[in-house]
Amino acid sequence: MTEIDAVLVLDARAELGEGPVWDERGGALYFVDIMRGRVNRFDPADGSRRVYDIGVAVGALAPTDAGDFVLATADGFARLDPIAGAVRPIAKVEADRPGNRMNDGKCDPAGRFWAGTMALDEHAGAGALYRLDPDGAVHTMLRDVTISNGLDWSGDARTMYYIDSGRRSVDAFDFDAASGSIANRRTLVRVAERDGVPDGMTLDADGCLWVALWGGGAVHRYGPDGALEAIVRLPVQHVTCCAFGGCELRDLYITTAAIKLSDRERAEQPHAGGVFLARPGVRGRPANRFNG
């Protein structure tokens, strides 16, 4: 078992840091602080940070071919202009369910944006997984989801990996890139209770999965067969998501959270909510962009 260290690169003080994505064009890491409704832009070259106030909770974002970003917000999909900081709603999701919000999301290899929902009180089965197509249509892809979380696609675009944290598993689907359909759900990894709860994830260029473990203080690397191959250890308990970035996509950026820590735990984990960096010796893949 390979053990890898992570170092703090941005003392972001996020409550619920999440959804890191590397924007190659600007050489910057974007991530969200969900319940504060903030998108952060971090430039590791000079250490600068810009904060965008979205005005509502924001679960995830992805770059677009047009140069802006698509967002999964509390009540639907929106676009963020990173120059002006302006936010423009584009589609409502679950407008009839004010107790739900959107959570993690990512673009598929054909440029559709997938993002799911969860109940604010996390009750079982209240969420769903949605697909926003480039033409603006929203499709419901899965129902009976508890906490819709990490997702990514294999390099050959034939498999979609997905985490519903309520199931404590990483699942795989057959994926059809032409139609955007998913089928044949099966469990790839079942995470033991002592290791935490699977949250966000990313795939590397070798087709292995890097899974952030909420409550587990770690990121696990699993092979495409589901075997545990490496562990990144962090000095904070709530590890939320990860994404490759930097030069040649060799830097694994990891977001974390302080929310739900007691006062004592916050004192013991002063960098909870920070962004950490590991260099595991493998490369990531460029983020897929929204094609609309």
Tell me which residues touch Ca ion (CB under 5 A): 104, 149, 199-200
- CB of 156 vs Ca ion, minimal distance in Å: 26
Half-sphere exposure of 158 (CA within 13 A, CB side): 3
DSSP-derived letter for residue 272 is T
Closer to Ca ion by Cβ: residue 117 or 149:
149
Nearer to Ca ion, 255 or 269 (CB): 255
Minimum separation from the CB atom of position 166 to Ca ion (A): 12
Whichever of 20 and 284 has its CB closer to Ca ion, that residue is: 20
CA distance 244 to 264: 32
- Residue 167 has phi, psi (to 5 degrees) of -95, -10
Cβ nearer to Ca ion, comparing 177 with 259: 259
Q: Assess contact for 24 and 244: CB atoms under 8 A.
A: no
Q: CB of residue 241 vs Ca ion: minimum separation in angstroms? A: 6
Rounded to a whole number of angstroms, the minimum distance from the CB of residue 189 to Ca ion is 16
> Rounded distance, CA 114 to CA 141, Å?
9
Q: Which is nearer to Ca ion, 68 or 104 (CB)?
A: 104
CB of 105 to Ca ion, least distance (A): 10
Q: Where are the beta strands (DSSP E) in 165-206?
A: 169-176, 181-190, 197-203
Nearest to Ca ion of 73, 292 (CB atom): 73
Task: Tell me the helices (H) and strands (E) count for the chain, helix number first.
Answer: 1, 25
**Shortest CB 161 distance to Ca ion, Å:** 14
The whole-angstrom separation of Cα 141 and Cα 175 is 12
Tokens of 45: 């070259």
- In angstroms, the CA 45 to CA 65 distance is 24
